[in-house]
Structure 1
Amino acid sequence: MFGNERKTNPSKSGKSERIYPKAQRSASTIGDRVETKKLTGSEIIIKALQAEGVDTVFGIPGGAVLPLYHELAVASIRHILTRHEQAAAHAAEGYARATGKPGVCIATSGPGATNLVTGITNAYMDSIPIIAITGQVSLAMIGRDSFQEADITGITMPVTKANYLVKSIRDLAATIHEAFYVATTGRPGPVLIDIPKDITTQRAAFHYPPRLRLPGYRSRVEPHALQVAQAAAAIQAAERPLLFIGGGVITSGAHEEVWQLAEEQDIPVIMSMMGKGAFPETHPLFVGMVGMHGTAAANYAVCETDLIIGVGVRFDDRVTGKIEAFAPRAKIIHIDIDAAEIGKVVPAHIPIVADARQALQALLARLPEKKEHPAWRQRIRRWQEEHPLRYDECGLKPQYVIEELYRLTRGRAIVSTDVGQHQMWAVQYYPLDRPRAFLSSCGLGTMGFGVPAAMGAAVARPDETVVAITGDGSFQMNIQELATLSHYRIPVKIILLNNGYLGMVRQWQEFFFDRRYAYSELAGNPDFVKVAEAYRLPARRVAAREEVVPALQEALETDGPFLVDILIDPEENVFPMVPPGGTLNKMVTGGRQE
């Protein structure tokens, strides 16, 4: 396509190319831009990014991208210099998650490009649109083990929606246009464009195509009428239905349709972690997150429901537990834009391959205006009353910290987390009532994601309060980004829940490995307050419960970034917990089996 070497991924089902049809913006809205004056490849890249509405990029310069950076220095596009390429990818992802627009990151060839791979994989697992632009050695040097040469298109082929090696400057603008279209349509995902250095210095006329022709790049957006009718009939017949929502609801902007379906049909709502914020968590119909660290009521409800309406979810292993015992009494409606996801883990009795919003709109049109399930609602309410989220309030508990953070921010912060125990506590104790306000590495589970993702969100939405909740293990994975926060005065408030361990690893060792804490204790941790101060960030340590609120208030009221290092109970655990491979109705809660 366009004369480039283009690599696309097969569907996860292995049957066909992975196709994503729903455009977040029409390709035809960008006018046919032609300039007779010849521009360098670097100038063409800048103009193409501007044509796509890009206002911010994250990255680090290096030899293969120096011509591009020469033009970026005088362009209207804002560049955020991160201190590691992985952080640039996570920042681009945070920008995309917070806005719905594609995030852009740039790295040089070789190690610069390979450092992006974790962030790219993270975006792929969570279906987040990012554009990664990498430099490459000159065309004549490719394949010769040249200095800082790496086959980044080959390396990232399994973890990108598509990737490109640009071999002609005449294809450069069209390739960028196609990359943005592919990344943002249908089921979003990361796209990589690898550009040899000599392409950035050659000259050509700038022509930005008004429309795209991508033969084979099609998939079903509108639901099949027969399947919608079957789903409507199943919902009307159900006595104990559950609405299970995931990240696809947020991607498609279907949160209002979810709310309408839940309220009109009196259907309790459960969520995956990716679905957090897609339905108000303070709503009477909200039951909680389902799965390994889900609420007891949500897990019990899955075991007793007779109908699950899964919308934009993958039914991943952390949700299902033992697959053979998942929702044993339920018929399953599965709505997803990616056909490869349907039936991949859990058999779907009524599959609907479509955009989530369009599918729900079609479903709502076929359902009666009101239905009630009082007995089912009462049963769930009883589970909620008997098995609430709870913790021992003695000592300095992380749950209390997050509850107070929620109270002080009135639940209106954008919350970014790293991965581990603190991630689960944030999900459990910081309820949300709006989409795109929770950023977390859900599929890949990437430690080091939280702070750079918060950075990207804060750049994208400067009028919002952005909080990064992290742990002392995750924080040190990308601690160098304190320099980025400090230099640009990006107002991220870092809440460091410091327990001196790789907390989730230690918890598993406690439960499943005879309390042998093999290499999970983080002996040798630095004084994080002094580290922050060395980066010229204000910081404060909290060692007692009564210090929590004043410290959080100071952080929230301070202009710019702030670090609060909170010394929490080192052996506090996340409950409930479904043992790996276990059934959802067999949870450990507070040290005992339910």
Structure 2
Amino acid sequence: MSPKLKKADGRELKTENQEMTGSSMLIQALAREKVDVIFGYPGGAILPTYDEIYRTGIRHILARHEQGAIHAAEGYARVSGKPGVCVVTSGPGATNVVTGIADAMIDSLPMVVITGQVATSVIGTDAFQEADVVGVTMPITKHNFQVRDVEELPRIIKEAFHIATTGRPGPVLIDLPKDVSTASGFFNYDQDVDLPGYQPTVTPNKHQIKKLVEAVTKADKPVILAGAGVLHSGAAKELLDYVEQQKIPVSSTLLGLGAFPGNHELSLGMAGMHGTYTSNMALHETDLLISIGARFDDRVTGNLKHFAPRAKIAHIDIDPAEIGKNIETSIPVVGDAKEALRMLFEAKGTPCDCTQWKEQLNEWKQENPLWYKEEGNSLKPQRLIEMIYEETKGEAVVTTDVGQHQMWAAQYYKFDKPNCWVTSGGLGTMGFGFPSAIGAQFAEPDKQVVAVLGDAGFQMTAQEMSILQELNLPVKIILVNNASLGMVRQWQQLFYEERYSNSLFPIQPDFVKMAEAYNIKGWKIEDPNEMQGALKEALNYEGPVLMDCRVHKDENVYPMIAPGKGHHEMEGVKP
């Protein structure tokens, strides 16, 4: 008999072709995939799997709500680059992770979501806690499975991890009926993945690379738009090497921040609705726009009629469906960003003569920087983010919800390293920031993790403070508290004649007492003169911390491209 195999943590890996239950197969397969942590919440249909978790000792983090579990798994995936794994029960357990699945799908995060399901004999009868999760999630998963035969489970799990992590990453769901999880079969995990209809193109066409090299040589005003695809492919170094070889300026999308060092002389900052003046004007004036791993969403492009009107567009993306979807593309390059950048670097080519272009960009940087006004004795949110950056020396992993605080963090925290920025981009999910920080802390246990949150979004998943209490995770929660739905209030001010319909919070909980109820250190800061010292103390504190920072309530995010406007029509560029 073959000797028993062990993972590094001591868990037993069983040999091939042993008979075992479906639940045991699942846990063995997760071990084979080197899964080191699961985020989840038990319930009736998934109990056989949780019994196996108990037996094997695989690390499981008990969220206090399934939404917290899925967002934590997203944060883990975003920072580690490995697939986040979430396990929940049927019915409401499964439907409670739908938002997180949609969030992961649009932001291209590798996820494997395992949902319990009622027994196959009663599927379709409206049994207790039954929901058609396969039907519900079909539009928002890269692929999904419902297991009907226990001996198909190993193949399905292997395929799920392969699909989630190759090509354009995304969430894959496995719906596991209870009777399948208790049935027995033979475990075979050595079989190769065979998916003839799924063969992502990794290596770009060399003729398209040659066209792009020639276009760079001829360009007078080239710009690279770096998106999250650079990060997903692990191509930050390749991008830096190529940029420094060719001396091409770089704009970043919201999710692409950190793909190129924010303090580099060729960095133009974030592009889009609340991007920098220089970055947006560069996109408006460029004659060659090279998009790498960005999908040209509406918050980046503004009005498509005015987007890069003088530019030839080159688009590098591993997902061919994105190329030409929103913007007409002259040089399509289908392939992995890392491989494309490697080929471009090796091709060398003659760098363009862009002296005047760089002088113009530097002039815009000097004349139209990001700005805010210090007023009276109120704490400005922009200054708060600057202080967080100064105190962490740019070394922290920063997570956010969606809204004003998210935009201020993107503008004023300069991300010089990849995979340190965790935010909800395409779906814009409130409640994402705090649990994603928990997942990020598991991905990087030795790094400082700072959750920069709005007071509204935090209340959607605040129950996950129980995890900080239970495990003493040193996540630092910084509430940018303006007692409102800040971005909603800003839009109501600018576009709805100051009719603040249900966007203001006249009454709030005592967040410090809320933190203390979970045995978490809490501060309330209103005086800007106390902020720096309190922040330093909080960041140096060994355990979890919540800081309730009462910022200027009427502050707006600028600059801003209003709906229907182009990059050259930004508002609030200067004080």
Common topology (TM > 0.5): yes
For 2:222 and 2:170, the matched residues in 1 are separated by 31
Find the partner of 1:538 among 521, 530, 550: 521
Residue deviations 1:416-451, cap 9 Å, x none? 011000000000010011110000000100000000
C-alpha distance in structure 1 between counterparts of 2:504 and 2:200, whole Å: 49
Cα distance in structure 1, aligned partners of 2:179 and 2:14 = 24
Per-residue deviation, 1:579? 0.2
Match of 2:8 in 1: none
1:143 and 2:133 are equivalent in the alignment: no
AA in 2 matched with 1:352: V
Structure 1 residues 132 and 101: alpha-carbon distance in aligned structure 2, compared to 1, 3 A threshold: same
Query: Does 1:352 pair with 2:341?
Result: no
Which amino acid is the alignment partner of residue 116 of structure 1?
Answer: V
- Tell me what 1:161 maps to: 142
**Partners of 2:176 and 2:503 in 1: CA distance:** 41
Which amino acid in the other structure matches residue 449 of structure 1? Answer: F
Paired residue for 1:3? none
Q: Contact between 2:216 and 2:351, CA under 8 Å: does it hold in 1?
A: no
Which one of the candidate residues 132, 144, 163 is aligned to 1:182? 163
1:420 maps to which residue? 403
Q: Is the 8 A contact 1:311 1:356 kept in 2?
A: yes
Which amino acid counterpart does residue 285 of structure 2 have in structure 1? E
| Contact 2:318/2:335 (8 A) holds in 1 | yes
Aligned ranges for residues 292-303 of structure 1 at < 5 Å? Answer: 292-303=273-284
Task: Show the counterpart of 2:181.
Answer: 200
Task: Report the counterpart of residue 11 of structure 1 in structure 2.
Answer: none
Aligned to 2:68: 87
TM-score normalized by structure 1? 0.93
Describe the SS at the equivalent of 1:292.
coil
Q: CA deviation at 1:319?
A: 0.6
Report 1:97-116 matches (<5 A): 97-116=78-97
Q: Which amino acid aligns with 1:49?
A: L
Of the three residues 241, 246, 271, the one matched with 2:222 is: 241
Q: Which runs of 5+ in 1 are unaligned?
A: 1-31
Cα deviation code 1:477-521 (max 9, x no counterpart): 111111122112111100000000000000001111111111100
2:261 — aligned with what?
280
* Residue identity in the other structure for 2:319: D
Structure 1 residue aligned with 2:471? 488
Further displaced range: 303-312 or 255-264: 255-264
Q: CA deviation at 1:219?
A: 2.9
Deviates more, 1:420-429 or 1:555-564: 555-564
Q: Any idea what SS the aligned residue of 1:300 has?
A: helix
Distance 1:104 1:558 in 2: 30
Does the CA contact (< 8 Å) of 1:34 and 1:205 recur in 2? no
1:190-235, Cα deviation, whole Å (9 max, x unpaired): 0000000111111112111341111111132111121111111100
Deviations 1:306-341 (A, max 9, x none): 000100000100011010110011001000000000
Identity of aligned residues (%): 51
Over 6 Å off, 4+ runs: none
What displacement does 1:589 show?
1.1
In structure 2, give the amino acid aligned to 1:326.
Answer: F
For residues 207 and 575 of structure 1, do their structure 2 counterparts lie closer, same or farther at Cα, with a shift above 3 Å needed? same
**Counterpart of 1:104 in 2: which secondary structure?**
strand
- How many Å apart are 1:365 and its aligned residue? 2.1
Which one of 308, 311, 320 corresponds to residue 330 of structure 1? Answer: 311
Cα RMSD (Å): 1.3
- The answer on whether the counterparts of 2:16 and 2:190 sit within 8 Å (CA) in structure 1 is no
The 8 Å contact of residues 368 and 573 in structure 2, kept in 1 or not, is answered as no
CA distance in 2, matches of 1:331, 1:548: 47
Give TM-score, length-normalised by structure 2.
0.96
Which whole-Å CA distance do the structure 1 matches of 2:14 and 2:304 have between them?
53
Question: 8 Å contact 1:391–1:590 — kept in the other structure?
Answer: no
Q: Give the Cα–Cα distance (whole angstroms) in 1 for the partners of residues 77 and 527 of structure 2.
A: 37
Counterpart contact for 1:470–1:495, Cα < 8 Å: yes
Pair 1:528-2:511 in alignment: yes
Q: Deviations over 1:142-195 (max 9, x none)?
A: 000000000001000000000000001111111111100000001000000000
C-alpha separation between the residues in 2 aligned to 1:421 and 1:415?
Answer: 15
Deviation at 1:591, TM superposition (A): 7.8
Tell me which amino acid in the other structure corresponds to 1:139. T
Question: What letter matches 1:507 in structure 2?
Answer: Q
> Amino acid of the residue matched to residue 553 of structure 2?
P
User: 5+ residue gaps in structure 2?
Assistant: 1-12
What is the Cα deviation at residue 132 of structure 1?
A: 0.5
